[in-house]
């Protein structure tokens, strides 16, 4: 386009100059006018030569750019105004292919997708979008197809015209690489599931052996000790069971986990007593295995203590569990309306293995535990910090669920 304008400009200058000389041909200063005319022509030719050279240099640089660059007129997207050498290498066509009268930019794509590509580009122009990205099947000169990605930038020039500057890319390697990663991830998921499945089965076997041992034990204290040990094994078993069922097998859904843990403990430790269990657990919170196991064991110790010691055998009772997340901390609260804690209770100064475990596991979570009593309720509260990676496990919708009740 610039070449045409330049040639037109030179012709007009020459015609004007020649006309002036012709009109004044018989004037006494005609020799001077001829000289002026000659100078104008020489200057015009020098300037045009410089301009053309610069334009050719820019065009040469663009043609040799590594990206498959193209330029289209937004008013006629079928016509190619410029293509780099990489486009020709990508498609197998030479430059004459793109400048034929019946040539069309969409000929670079397979036949079934051409109309759809036209529609998407025109839609982007109509919506005044700055960019568009289209993935389709490219068509080479030899008829073979390949994955082609078309990224275009819609530019409005100062003269009011709109151009499309885009880059074409062979996306075959990218797709193959993505598919390979997906295959490896799938294999990893299968392997993790198998590991969790085997650990779960082994823990289930240990739990069954404990049950058999309980049947042979005579003393009440030994049975209670084995019951408590079985509860601890169950808290770990449930984590691996949840991970085995979860897709991706990297995090545990705390709502489901705490519900199943409470059900198991109530069934094994207090099947005939009228103890009601209420839970308020924030939905969609997920924790990785490194924190789910210690958290589950802490909850198991507290719930076991409440079920065993907070209520007399013939007395009704209520146990509540609350788990939520703030911007800085996770908070677990377990309370009951039973007998209450001893006044001198302190986890670090107590001989109870359960309390010592709570202290050790809370330290493992970088958290803190507190015990309190108010208005007839005994409360154990655990707080531990939220990590940056927890954002990956906290899905959309984060609302507390209504109280769940177990009798």
**pLDDT tens, residue by residue, 181-234:** 888 888 887 777 787 788 888 888 888 888 888 888 888 888 888 888 888 888
Low pLDDT (below 70) residues in the chain: 1-67, 95, 98-103, 246-249, 272-273, 342-351, 388-407
DSSP letter for each residue of 238-293: HHHHHHHHSSSSSEEEHHHHHHHHHHHHHHHH-SSS-EEEEEEEBTT-EEEHHHHH
- Give pLDDT, residue 332: 95
Q: How far apart are CA 266 and CA 253, in angstroms?
A: 20
Query: Does the global pTM surpass 0.75?
Result: no
pLDDT one-digit tens code per residue, 349-389: 566 788 888 889 999 999 999 988 888 899 999 999 987 65
- What is the spatial distance between Cα 154 and Cα 130, in angstroms, rounded to a whole number? 5
The domain locations on the chain are 2-63, 68-170, 175-249, 251-407
* Residue carrying the six token digits 């304008």: 5
H helices present in 103-253, as ranges: 114-126, 172-216, 220-245
pLDDT at 382 (0 to 100): 94
- Rg of the chain over CA atoms, in angstroms? 40
Buried b or exposed e, range 273-298, using 16+ CB within 10 angstroms: bebebbbebbebbbbbbebbbbbbbb
Do residues 52 and 60 touch, judged by C-beta distance below 8 A?
no
Residues 322-350: tens digit of each pLDDT: 999 988 899 999 999 888 776 666 555 56
Question: What's the CATH class of domain 68-170?
Answer: alpha beta
Rounded CA gap, 327 and 209, in Å? 43
Topology classification of domain 251-407: Heat Shock Protein 90 (3.30.565)
> HSE (CB half, 13 Å, CA atoms) of 181?
6
* Structure tokens given for 153: 């930038």
pLDDT, position 163: 83
What is the spatial distance between Cα 9 and Cα 296, in angstroms, rounded to a whole number?
A: 84
């Amino acid at each position: 386009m610039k070449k045409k304008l330049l040639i037109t400009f030179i012709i007009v200058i020459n015609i004007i100059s020649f006309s002036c000389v012709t009109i004044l041909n018989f004037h006494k200063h005609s020799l001077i006018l001829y000289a002026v005319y000659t100078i104008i022509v020489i200057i015009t030719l020098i300037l045009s030569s410089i301009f053309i050279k610069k334009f050719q240099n820019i065009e040469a640089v663009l043609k040799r750019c590594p990206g498959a660059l193209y330029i289209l007129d937004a008013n006629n997207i079928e016509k190619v105004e410029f293509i780099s050498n990489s486009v020709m290498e990508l498609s197998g066509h030479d430059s004459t292919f793109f400048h034929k009268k019946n040539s069309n930019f969409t000929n670079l794509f397979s036949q079934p997708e051409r109309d759809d590509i036209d529609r998407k580009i025109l839609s982007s122009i109509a919506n005044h979008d700055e960019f568009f990205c289209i993935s389709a099947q490219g068509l080479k000169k030899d008829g073979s197809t390949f994955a082609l990605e078309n990224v275009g930038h819609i530019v409005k020039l100062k003269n009011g015209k709109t151009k499309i500057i885009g880059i074409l890319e062979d996306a075959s390697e990218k797709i193959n690489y993505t598919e390979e990663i997906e295959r490896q991830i799938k294999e990893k998921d299968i392997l993790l599931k198998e590991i969790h499945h085997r650990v779960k089965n082994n823990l289930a076997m240990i739990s069954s052996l404990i049950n058999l041992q309980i049947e042979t034990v005579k003393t009440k204290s030994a049975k209670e000790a084995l019951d408590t040990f079985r509860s601890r094994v169950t808290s770990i078993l449930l984590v691996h069971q949840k991970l085995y069922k979860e897709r991706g097998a990297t995090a545990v859904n705390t709502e489901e986990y705490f519900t199943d843990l409470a059900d198991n403990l109530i069934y094994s430790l207090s099947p005939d007593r009228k103890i009601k269990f209420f839970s308020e657990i924030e939905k969609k919170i997920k924790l990785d295995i490194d924190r789910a196991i210690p958290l589950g064991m802490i909850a198991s110790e507290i719930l076991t203590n409440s079920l065993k010691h907070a209520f007399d055998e013939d007395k009704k009772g209520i146990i509540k569990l609350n788990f939520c997340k703030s911007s800085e901390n996770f908070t677990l609260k377990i309370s009951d309306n039973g007998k209450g804690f001893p006044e001198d209770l302190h986890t670090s100064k107590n001989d109870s293995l359960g309390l010592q475990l709570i202290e050790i596991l809370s330290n493992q979570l970088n958290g803190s535990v507190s015990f309190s009593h108010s208005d007839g309720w005994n409360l154990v509260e655990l707080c531990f910090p939220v990590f940056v990676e927890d954002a990956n496990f906290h899905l959309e919708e984060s609302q507390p669920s209504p109280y769940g009740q177990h009798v």
